[in-house]
Amino acid sequence: MVTFAVLCLLACVLSVKSDGPHLVPNFRPPSVPLVVVNPYLSIWSDADHLYDDFPKHWSGPIICLSGMISIDGKVYRFMAKDTDLAPDVMTQVNLTVYPTQTVYVFQESGIQLTLTFSTPAFAATDKIPTLPVTFLTYTVEAIDGVSNHTVKIYYDNTAEGVVSDTKQMVTWDYASLMPGQVAMKIGTTDQDYLGQGSDRINWGYWYVSTILDRGMIATMAPAVDTRTAFMKGKVLPSEDKNKPRACEDNWPVLAIAWDFGTITPGQPSQRWLQISYDQVYSMKYFGTAMEPLWKHNYENFTGLIRNSEYETLKKACDDKDAEITEALYNAGGQNYATISSLAWRQAVGGTIAVWNNVTNEPWVFLKEISSDGDVSTVDVMFPASPLFIWHLPETLQLMLLPLLNYANNDTKEYGLDVPYNLQWAPHHLGHWPVCDLEPNRQEQMPVEESGNMLLMIAGVVLQTKNLTFLDPYWPLLTIWADFVVASLPDPGNQLCTDDFEGPSPHNMNLAAKGMVALGAYSQLLRMKGDTASAEKYETANTQFIQYWTTNGLDGDHYKRQYNLPGSWSLKYNLLFQKILKLNLFPQSVFDQELKYYMSKMNTYGIPMDDRHLYTKTDWLMWTAAMASDDQFNSITSAVYKFANETPDRSPFTDWYAVDTAHRQGFTARPVIGGLYARLLTAMKN
Ligand SMILES: *[C@@H]1O[C@H](CO)[C@@H](O)[C@H](O)[C@H]1NC(C)=O
Ligand SMILES: *[C@@H]1O[C@H](CO)[C@@H](O)[C@H](O)[C@H]1NC(C)=O
Ligand SMILES: *[C@@H]1O[C@H](CO)[C@@H](O)[C@H](O)[C@H]1NC(C)=O
Ligand SMILES: *[C@@H]1O[C@H](CO)[C@@H](O)[C@H](O)[C@H]1NC(C)=O
Ligand SMILES: *[C@@H]1O[C@H](CO)[C@@H](O)[C@H](O)[C@H]1NC(C)=O
Ligand SMILES: *[C@@H]1O[C@H](CO)[C@@H](O)[C@H](O)[C@H]1NC(C)=O
């Protein structure tokens, strides 16, 4: 029975490997997603080899996960950089990043170890990423074909994942609920829920769980003691009862050691563990604390600890990876599939799904991540939206609801009445994890955010064909559409999303956004059956587009500002015309612009405009999504080259220099979901 299960699991692993040709072999990601589930549970390896460095939170500090293997009594390290304790490494020979899984392969002394990180966040519903869970699977094979080897494997993690400062006090315990299972839990003693001021969580509980197994030990003790015991071939120490104590005080770890026994050629063996995080509360929305969505669906952490479902969830990841990589490959080839696979967990892992107990429905929030801790920034959600529109439109709809609710004066239902008195859409909701922002304290981007909201709504409806969620909001959308009309054809001097570039008055790309957004709103009105209103906006828009094409032309391209001859910029805001199949700007505008951009191609891509030699990864890939196949391939291979070669090691940046490949700023932001734009323009419906 056991052998059969192991063989079956291997077959599943092999079926993932057969997708290899969809991805470029030997791609070197700037950073590798390990446990990337939400803005707090987000652990990466910024190194070429998993043993070259410690795993880190996206914001930089170490969250130590470590791994060692004993082969015929000699110990090698394969994860984390504890060089004093375990100087020898098991050579990393392969690394592949799939959308939901990361696969490392190591070899040493006739043994091959495949370590897979699988994040089945989506598996509970397939519509909303919900499960705060990552599995680590260890598959051991004898590869020298002749000899038998004895193998043991060691895992531990410190408490760094549950603190925002390693001086904080933590406590731990066993937490098994079901027979045959072992679970350990660790968390702070303070449990100061929903505190602000850090990108790190210091409340809730981190669990490590697995199936009981002969010769296996799971314990909680100082790192130096458990690691030393494993190094010396000794039994791990029993639970350290000196608790609570500081995370950094003799570093308590949750540790597991498995005895794989004798590995004979042709008979691989496998063990796994589950890391899960119970946030208890994830978000405070104008006075109301909201539980993570999984918690609403299950009474207690038996719903979180899915040990009995390991095989189902692992297969769900394999299937999801095969589905997504195939779609990416078909839409854009190997380079495209490779960088977009890397983007998946970064984009989805920038969100959290919660239960709204006031309206009794799920909601989703998105964090701006490294640019600041803003919650649900509209112009960060917008660049990310292609991934969600393509594969998770219901999730995007649930991301829009907290913003619509806020702008519609509904916050009083939640305890904190914050009237929204602006004629345009909000910029964000608050500072993670607390939404409480007064409208006049926003960073105001009037046309930007109003256009973004209308466009994202139309993108959701394109996929769901369902307008019902808009029932309470039509008057609000009309206010925004009318504001956009009043601001066109020239939006004057206002901020757009690219505020780091400084002011950009008479911004033609921003104007284009307003025009495409009016097209989107007209499309929604027509679907609703309000043809008269749709025509009103369409008539106004025809004039605006006429003005844009006439006054914006500068010889062989369109200007960055209406009033600046010689300027140019990527008009990435035209993308939604293609996605929504709107008939607004003539195709010649796209052709002419793309041809001009290609003349500005540098080593690692095309700059955003004439002012700087840097670009935005998301906007550049939006631009590529509107291009011919040749232009698309040329842009995509430049972005691939950047990701593969940048010397700045951190989660996929969206802002870099096109001549040097240096990161300009920003890391790990969910905007990288913008890479999925080509899938939308390639879509048939
Ligand atoms: C390395 O990964 C690629 C997928 O990128 C796969 O095709 C290949 O078989 C792997 N090689 C080994 C030795 O696991
Ligand atoms: C390997 O182990 C198997 C099963 O334990 C045993 O039958 C076989 O003789 C061993 N082979 C060698 C080369 O030691
Ligand atoms: C956890 O919830 C399940 C149902 O979801 C219930 O059967 C079980 O008794 C609960 N366990 C505890 C410890 O509350
Ligand atoms: C929603 O949940 C919060 C946090 O548990 C609680 O304080 C509040 O009373 C609940 N509200 C409703 C309407 O159930
Ligand atoms: C919300 O309330 C403010 C202040 O009372 C008001 O100015 C605004 O028009 C209201 N918005 C909507 C959509 O009703
Ligand atoms: C349309 O959306 C509403 C609310 O979002 C939902 O209740 C309804 O079931 C959906 N209708 C269809 C046909 O899916």
C-alpha 213/C-alpha 409 separation (Å) is 56
The answer, yes or no, to whether any atom of ligand 6 lies below 6 A from the CB of 473, is: no
Q: How many whole angstroms from 422 Cα to the centroid of ligand 5?
A: 8
Q: Are 388 and 375 in contact (CB under 8 A)?
A: no
Q: Whose CA is closest to 339, among 27, 15, 84, 111?
A: 27
Query: Each residue of 589-606: pLDDT tens digit?
Result: 999 999 999 999 999 999
pLDDT at 375 over 90: yes
Q: Are residues 60 and 163 in the same domain?
A: yes
pLDDT at 125 over 90: no
pLDDT at 226: 98
pLDDT at 449 over 50: yes
Q: Are residues 521 and 670 in the same domain?
A: yes
Query: Each residue of 383-442: pLDDT tens digit?
Result: 999 999 999 999 999 999 999 999 999 999 999 999 999 999 999 999 999 999 999 999
Residue 179, preceding bond cis, omega within 30 degrees?
Answer: no
Largest distance between two CA atoms of the chain? 80
The model's confidence at residue 299, banded by pLDDT at 50, 70 and 90, is low
Q: Are residues 290 and 415 in the same domain?
A: no
Residue 433, preceding bond cis, omega within 30 degrees?
Answer: yes
Q: Are residues 275 and 392 in the same domain?
A: no
Q: How many whole angstroms from 294 Cα to the centroid of ligand 3?
A: 14
For the record, the structure tokens of 224 come out as 């130096």
Q: Are residues 402 and 285 in the same domain?
A: no
Q: Are residues 259 and 380 in the same domain?
A: no
Q: How many whole angstroms from 377 Cα to the centroid of ligand 4?
A: 25
Mean pLDDT of 266-273: 96
The answer, yes or no, to whether any atom of ligand 1 lies below 6 A from the CB of 105, is: yes
CATH code assigned at 288: 2.70.98
The answer, yes or no, to whether any atom of ligand 3 lies below 6 A from the CB of 302, is: yes
Q: Among the atoms of ligand 3, which is closest to the Cα of residue 298?
A: 5
Q: Are residues 533 and 436 in the same domain?
A: yes
Query: Each residue of 26-71: pLDDT tens digit?
Result: 999 999 999 999 999 999 999 999 999 999 999 999 999 999 999 9
Q: How many whole angstroms from 375 Cα to the centroid of ligand 6?
A: 26
Query: Each residue of 479-522: pLDDT tens digit?
Result: 999 999 999 999 999 999 999 988 889 999 999 999 999 999 99
The protein residue whose alpha carbon is closest to atom 4 in ligand 3 is 299
pLDDT at 221 over 50: yes
CATH code assigned at 414: 1.50.10.10
Asked if the structure places residue 619 within a domain, the reply is yes
The answer, yes or no, to whether any atom of ligand 3 lies below 6 A from the CB of 176, is: no
- Among 285, 300, 315, identify where a domain stops: 300
Query: Each residue of 148-178: pLDDT tens digit?
Result: 999 999 999 999 999 999 999 999 999 977 8
Asked if the structure places residue 318 within a domain, the reply is no
φ and ψ of 552, to 5 deg: -95, -10
pLDDT at 300: 61
pLDDT at 417: 96
pLDDT at 258: 98
pLDDT at 234 over 80: yes
pLDDT at 682: 87
Q: How many whole angstroms from 272 Cα to the centroid of ligand 6?
A: 39
Asked if the structure places residue 597 within a domain, the reply is yes
C-alpha 577/C-alpha 455 separation (Å) is 10
pLDDT at 5 over 80: no
Mean pLDDT of 364-382: 97
Asked if the structure places residue 332 within a domain, the reply is no
C-alpha 678/C-alpha 685 separation (Å) is 14
Query: Each residue of 575-590: pLDDT tens digit?
Result: 999 999 999 999 999 9
The protein residue whose alpha carbon is closest to atom 4 in ligand 1 is 20
Q: How many whole angstroms from 298 Cα to the centroid of ligand 3?
A: 8
State the DSSP H helix or E strand holding residue 619, giving kind and residue range, or none if neither. Answer: helix 617-625
Q: How many whole angstroms from 541 Cα to the centroid of ligand 5?
A: 27
pLDDT at 502: 83
Half-sphere exposure of 25 (CA within 13 A, CB side): 8
- Among 274, 300, 326, identify where a domain stops: 300
Q: Are 423 and 485 in contact (CB under 8 A)?
A: no
Q: Are residues 442 and 575 in the same domain?
A: yes
The model's confidence at residue 685, banded by pLDDT at 50, 70 and 90, is low
Ligand 4 pocket test target in 279, 290, 293, 357 with most atoms within 8 Å of CB: 357
Asked if the structure places residue 194 within a domain, the reply is yes
Q: Which stretch of 89-93, 127-131, 271-275, 567-571 has the lowest confidence by average pLDDT?
A: 127-131
Higher pLDDT among residues 39 and 21, named by residue: 39
DSSP 8-state assignment for residue 501: G
Q: Are residues 429 and 537 in the same domain?
A: yes
pLDDT at 316 over 50: yes
DSSP 8-state assignment for residue 489: S
Q: Are residues 401 and 291 in the same domain?
A: no
C-alpha 674/C-alpha 618 separation (Å) is 5
Tallying the residues shown for the chain, one arrives at: 685
The protein residue whose alpha carbon is closest to atom 11 in ligand 1 is 94
pLDDT at 8: 37
Asked if the structure places residue 676 within a domain, the reply is yes
Average pLDDT, whole number, for the chain?
94
Mean pLDDT of 110-124: 93
Asked if the structure places residue 146 within a domain, the reply is yes
- Among 275, 300, 325, identify where a domain stops: 300
Angle made by CA atoms 664, 666, 672, in degrees to the nearest 5: 110
pLDDT at 372: 93
Higher pLDDT among residues 203 and 20, named by residue: 203
Q: Among the atoms of ligand 1, which is closest to the Cα of residue 27?
A: 5
Ligand 2 pocket test target in 3, 146, 264 with most atoms within 8 Å of CB: 264
pLDDT at 126: 75
The model's confidence at residue 313, banded by pLDDT at 50, 70 and 90, is very high
Q: Are residues 254 and 403 in the same domain?
A: no
Q: Are 40 and 46 in contact (CB under 8 A)?
A: no
Domain region containing 538:
367-681
From the CA of 302, the nearest ligand is 3
Asked if the structure places residue 385 within a domain, the reply is yes
The protein residue whose alpha carbon is closest to atom 8 in ligand 6 is 468
Mean pLDDT of 105-133: 92
**How large a percentage of the chain has pLDDT more than 90?**
90
**How large a percentage of the chain has pLDDT more than 70?**
96
pLDDT at 601: 98
Q: How many whole angstroms from 177 Cα to the centroid of ligand 3?
A: 9
Q: How many whole angstroms from 48 Cα to the centroid of ligand 4?
A: 46
Other C-beta atoms within 10 Å of 146: how many? 7
Please, which residues bridge with residue 163 across strands?
none
Q: Which residues have any ligand 4 atom within 6 Å of their CB? A: 288-289, 357-358
The model's confidence at residue 298, banded by pLDDT at 50, 70 and 90, is confident
Total of domains in the chain:
2
Q: Are residues 534 and 397 in the same domain?
A: yes
The model's confidence at residue 1, banded by pLDDT at 50, 70 and 90, is very low
The model's confidence at residue 12, banded by pLDDT at 50, 70 and 90, is very low
pLDDT at 17 over 70: no
Q: Which stretch of 10-19, 170-179, 322-331, 443-452 has the lowest confidence by average pLDDT?
A: 10-19
Q: How many whole angstroms from 512 Cα to the centroid of ligand 5?
A: 28
258 contacts: CB under 8 Å, gap ≥ 6: 138, 152, 153, 213, 215, 216, 271
C-alpha 675/C-alpha 158 separation (Å) is 34
